[in-house]
Amino acid sequence: MSIEVKARNKRAAYEYELLERVEAGIVLQGTEIKSIRQGKVNISDAYVTIDESGEAYVYNLTISPYDHGNRANHIENRRRKLLLHRREIKKIHESIKSKGVTVIAYSLYLKEGLAKLEIVLARGKKIYDKREAERKKDDAKMLRDPNY
């Protein structure tokens, strides 16, 4: 089982308190998967919503147009449907309704040839929480490296 990470949201752990992770499949077009395999994807602003029909969609997931694509190339920032079990969608929807919880894209990877999106239930951090996390990170770095 090979996993090849194509994109990761590095700021997510700094900006949000990560609560729970869920793996989801994505409905893609042909040129989109080819661009993902080339690594031309950005998930830093991507977020997930549940619509009124009970389907999960990811927004602001930027997949650059495929280099060798013709006029049938895909739209860069279209909404893309996520493939989740009904109970997972229900759980995510209930979490979103609670105060301050959002769902963000954390990483995009290929698993056995299929594109998977790791989404995270997250709560935004306050400025003092970010400073505290930075302080803990620096302290841990100082303990590991005596020449810090």
E-only strand ranges, 73-138: 80-83, 101-111, 114-124
Tokens at 93, concatenated:
């929807």
Tokens at 19, concatenated:
């609560």
Domains contained in the chain, number: 1
pLDDT of 1: 67
pLDDT of 141: 85
Mean pLDDT in consecutive groups of 10 residues from the start of the chain, 148 residues: 86 89 93 89 94 94 84 83 95 88 94 94 86 86 77
pLDDT of 145: 77
Query: Domain with 28 in it: what CATH number?
Result: 2.40.280.10
Give the residue numbers spanning the domain of 100.
Answer: 3-144
Amino acid in the structure at residue 98:
S
